[in-house]
A = this chain, B = another copy of it.
Amino acid sequence: MSTTSSALRPILVAGQWRDAVHQTTFHATDPNQNRPLEATFPVSEWADCDEALDAAAGAARELRRLPRSSIAAFLNGYADRIDAAKETLVEAAFAETGLARSPRLADVELPRTSNQLRAAAVACLRGDWAHATIDTQAGIRSVYESLGPVCVFGPNNFPFAFNSLSGGDFAAAIAAGNPVIGKANSSHPETTRRFAELALEAADEAGLPPATVQLIYRTRHADGERLVSDPRLGATGYTGSRSAGLTLKAAADRAGKPIYLELSSVNPVVITPAALEQRGEEIADEFVTSVLMGTGQFCTNPGMVMLLAGEPTERFITTVKQRFESAGTGTLLSPAVSNSLSKSVKLLCEYGAELLTGGGEPAVDRCSYANTLLRVEGDTFLKRAADLQTEAFGNASLMLVCEDLSQLIAAIGCLEGNLTGCVYSSTDGSDEEAYRRIAFELAPKVGRLLNEKMPTGVAVSPAMNHGGPFPATGHPGFTAVGIPASLIRFAKLTSYDNVRAERLPQSLQDENLNGTWRFIDGQWTQSAV
C-alpha cells in the first residue's frame, strides 16, 4: 500500500517522521497564481490514524504523570521557536494562503500565535482554568483534569493562529494536559509540517513524550469520522465548513465523544437610522474595512447588515457599494474558497437577493472574486430566512433592508445561532428604546454582542466568547478563543470524595504552592485550605 517518493512529505507519528501509508496524494495551491505547489502530501490510510491514536493514548498517560511545569516549558519553548522561525513560516504560509506577508502574517498573526501559546503556558502553570473546588465539610474536592488525546482540524483562514498544530485549539488542548493529533488543513500542509517540526523539537527539549504532537495531512472522509469517534480519543476541535463539520459531529456524537465545532456564521450587524444620520460615513468606513480585510475570510466577517428603510440607509448602501467598487480585489485562500463564494452568491440571488455590485465567476489567473454586495428586502428575507442566511465566505455581504423596527425584530428572530452580533446606534442615546428591543432579540442568538464595533477583531481575552449557539458552534457554553476559558473544553470533571490527603492531585491538596485560584467552601481564594 505504501509508496515512497522523494518529493513526498512525511507524516509525524509517534515521534517519527515517516512516509504515510497512502494510496493517493494531494498538493496545496498557490492562490496568487492559482497553480498547484510542488510539494506532494499523502492522504493517509486508516493505519496511520490507528498508529497515531495508539501513540497518543500512550502520550496521554505519560503527560498525566508529568508536572505541569514541563507542559508550560514546552509551550514557551515552542513559542520561542515559532518566533525564531518567523521568516520560513511566513514564506510557507504566504505561498499556500496568499495572505500578505506583512503586516498580516509576520506582524499580526505570528505574534498572536506565539503569544497565545505563552498565555496557555501561564494558564497551565497557574491552573485557575481547572476550577478546583473544595468542600472541607463534606470532604469532597473536584477539579477539571486532562481528557485524553485531542484531534484538531484547523481551518483554512488562519494558517498560524488557528493552525491544527499551533493555534487556539492546540494551545488549549496541550495546556489542559492532552496530546494533539493535528489534521492539517489541506490548503496549508507545508506550513503545518513546519510547525510540527518545531513542536517536536520543543517537546523533546521539555521532556514531553514525542507523541504529544503528531501530524497527519489528510484522510479519507470515512476515516475522519472513525478518528473522531475512536475510543482512544478524548475530544475533537474542528473549525471549518458546516457540511464537513456536521458529518464529523454526527460520528463523534454517536460515540459520545465531545467535539467542539466552529462552523459558519453570517455575523449580523444592525445599524439604526439614527447612527447612520449621526456618522454614516464613518460606519461605512468601518464596515468596508472589516468586510474586505483579509478578503473577508474571517469567521466573524460581517456577512449581513440589518438596516431600516429610508434615506440614511440608501446613502449608506450607496457609499458601501462605491467603496466595494473602488477597493482592490484581494486574493482568496484557495480555488475551493473562490468557487464556494461564487456559488453562495448565486444561491443568494436565487433566493431573492439583488446583486448591487460584484458577482459573476471567480478569476482564473489567481484565486479571487469581485467584491460583492447584495441586497434583500425584509419581507423577502422573512419568507426565506434560512436560505438567505447562506454563508458567503469571503469578500461579500448582504444588506437586509427592513420596513420598520418590528420587521427588523422579526428578522432577528429568524436568525440562526451566530458567533457575533453588532449593534450601531446613536451615541446620544436618542434611539435607546430601539437598541433595547434589538439587543434583547439579538443577544440570545449570538456568542458575542458588540456595540459600535465591527466583529472581525477576536481578542485573546479571558472574557472573549468565540462561540455561540448552534449552528455557529456545536454547544452554546464554550469558547474557542480566550485563555483560560478555552481550556475547559478538553477536560473532564473529577470529584475526589473522601480521598486521602496525600493522594489528592496537587491542585486539590490543602497547600496551594502555585497560588491557584480555588473555590473553597463557597469563596474563591488563592490561600491554602
Chain A interfacial positions (CB closer than 8 Å to B):
64, 128, 133-135, 138, 140-142, 144-145, 147-148, 249-250, 253-258, 417, 420, 435-436, 439-440, 443-444, 446-453, 459, 461-465, 467, 469-471, 474-479, 485, 488-489, 491-500, 503, 517, 519, 522-525
Residues of B within 8 A of A470 (CB): 255-257
- Contact among B249, B443, B463, B493 for A465, CB-based, below 8 A: B493
A525→B250 CA distance, assembly (Å): 41
Q: Which residues of B contact A140 (CB under 8 A)?
A: 459, 461, 463-464
| A469 CB contacts on chain B under 8 angstroms | 256, 492
Q: CB-CB < 8 A to A519: which residues of B?
A: 462
Contacts of A141 in B (CB 8 A): 463
* B residues in contact with A258, CB < 8 Å: 475-477
Q: Which residues of B contact A478 (CB under 8 A)?
A: 493
Of the candidates B449, B467, B477, B495, the one whose C-beta lies within 8 Å of that of A499 is B449
Complex Cα spacing A517 to B522, Å: 10
A407 to B352 alpha-carbon distance, docked (Å)? 66
Known: A258-B475, A503-B439. A495 touches B463 (CB 8 A): yes
| Minimum distance in angstroms from A380 CB to a CB of chain B | 21
A258-B477, A467-B493 given; A452·B250 CB < 8 A: no
Choose from B435, B476, B500 the contact partner of A147 (Cβ within 8 Å): B476
A449 touches B133 (CB 8 A): no
Q: Would A477 and B138 be within 8 Å (CB), given that A447-B495, A448-B494 are in contact?
A: no
Closest-by-CB residue of B relative to A140 is: B463
Please measure, in the bound complex, the distance between the C-alpha atom of A463 and the C-alpha atom of B137, giving whole angstroms.
11
| Bound Cα distance A285, B267 (Å) | 61
Chain B residues contacting A435 (CB-CB under 8 Å) are: 503
Chain B residue at minimal CB-CB distance from A255: B470
Q: How far is the CB of A345 from chain B (nearest CB, A)?
A: 26
Residues of B within 8 A of A495 (CB): 447-449, 463-465, 479
Chain B: CB-nearest residue to A522: B462
The contact sample of 12 A-B pairs, CB cut-off 8 A, is: A128-B522, A138-B461, A138-B464, A140-B461, A257-B470, A449-B494, A450-B497, A467-B493, A476-B493, A479-B495, A517-B523, A524-B525
Identical copies in the complex: 2
- On whether the beta carbons of B138 and A459 are closer than 8 Å, the reply is yes
The minimal Cβ–Cβ distance linking A500 to chain B, given in whole angstroms, is: 6
Within the assembled complex, what's the spacing in Å between the Cα atoms of A249 and B436?
A: 36
Q: Which residues of B contact A476 (CB under 8 A)?
A: 147, 258, 491-493
* B500–A477 CB distance below 8 A: no
How many Å from the CB of A473 to the closest CB on chain B? 9
A255–B416 Cα gap in the complex (Å)? 12
Tell me which of A144, A450, A463, A464 has the highest count of chain B C-beta atoms within 10 A of its own C-beta.
Answer: A463
Cα A6 to Cα B517 in complex, Å, equals: 59
Closest 9 A/B residue pairs (Cβ) = A256-B470, A524-B524, A476-B492, A465-B495, A448-B495, A253-B253, A140-B463, A135-B463, A142-B463
CA distance in complex: A449, B446 (Å): 37
Minimum Cβ distance to chain B for residue A439 (Å): 7
- Interchain CA distance A448-B497 in the complex, whole Å: 7
Q: Which residues of chain B have C-beta atoms less than 8 A from A461's C-beta?
A: 135, 138, 140
Q: How far is the CB of A512 from chain B (nearest CB, A)?
A: 13
Q: In angstroms, how far is the closest chain B Cβ from the Cβ of A445?
A: 10
Could you tell me the distance between the alpha carbons of A420 and B465 in the complex, rounded to whole angstroms? Answer: 32
Closest B residue by C-beta to A436: B503
- What B residues does A498 contact at CB under 8 A? 450-453
The chain B residue sitting closest to A136, CB to CB, is B463
Query: From residue A457, how far is it (CB to closest CB) to chain B in Å?
Result: 9
**Alpha-carbon distance A491/B444, docked complex (angstroms):** 10
Q: Could you tell me the distance in whole angstroms from the C-beta of A260 to the nearest C-beta in chain B?
A: 11
Q: A462-B522, A479-B495 are known; give 20 further A-B pairs, CB within 8 A.
A: A135-B459, A135-B461, A140-B461, A142-B479, A147-B476, A439-B503, A444-B492, A447-B492, A448-B495, A448-B496, A448-B497, A449-B499, A450-B499, A451-B500, A451-B503, A464-B495, A465-B494, A476-B491, A476-B492, A517-B523
Set B257, B464, B494: member contacting A443, Cβ < 8 A: B494
- Asked, given contacts A463-B140, A495-B464, whether A249 binds B253 with beta carbons under 8 Å apart, the answer is yes
Select from chain B the residue with minimum beta-carbon distance to A422: B497
Contact B256 A253 (CB under 8 A): no
**A460: nearest residue on chain B (CB-CB)?**
B138
Q: Check A148–B451 contact: CB distance below 8 A.
A: no
Quote the shortest CB–CB distance from A331 to chain B (angstroms): 29
Please give, as numbers and ranges, the residues of chain B lying within 8 Å of A500 by CB-CB distance. Answer: 451
Q: State whether B497 touches A449 (Cβ < 8 A).
A: yes
Contact indicator A134/B463 (Cβ below 8 Å): yes
A67 to chain B, nearest CB (A): 16
Contact for A440 among B64, B254, B451, B525, CB less than 8 A:
B64
Contact across chains for A444 and B148 when beta carbons are under 8 A apart: yes
Q: How far is the CA of A498 from the CA of B467 in the complex (A)?
A: 17
